[in-house]
Amino acid sequence: MDSVIYVLTTNGLLFLLSIIFWKFPPKKINRIYGYRTFKAMLNEEIWVFANTTFNKNFLIYAGISFLAALILATISVQELTWQPMILVMLSLLVSVIKTERALSDNFTEEGKRLK
């Protein structure tokens, strides 16, 4: 498989999903669509905050991942194998960690706002 096509189907798809999540965030707490962790689903205020924070981080890091993978695909002399997938995993991991940290900084374990 061509490296650029591989990047488009992995990192490009991730970036497209991040745009969809950013443009169409979930309206209500649900178990199907949105950033769903126990803490994020405690109440509506936390739900909106968590989804807004995650979607922003996800858009940024998926975009960085996509650009980095495209650059890697164009300068690589060998066909890419696992490198774009590592960038996908890092994008998701960093987005989740930053969202959970923001939730801990702004809300108690019971769901009350700190600041």
Within 13 A of 40's CA, how many CA atoms are on the CB side? 23
Tell me how far apart the alpha carbons of residues 21 and 33 are, in angstroms, rounded to a whole number: 9
pLDDT band at 81; cut points 50, 70, 90: confident
Provide the pLDDT for residue 1: 62
Provide the pLDDT for residue 92: 96
Provide the pLDDT for residue 4: 86
Between 75 and 67, the more confident residue is: 67
Tell me how far apart the alpha carbons of residues 56 and 102 are, in angstroms, rounded to a whole number: 12
Q: Reply yes or no on whether the pLDDT at 89 is more than 80.
A: yes
The angle subtended at Cα 17 by Cα 81 and Cα 76, nearest 5°, is 25
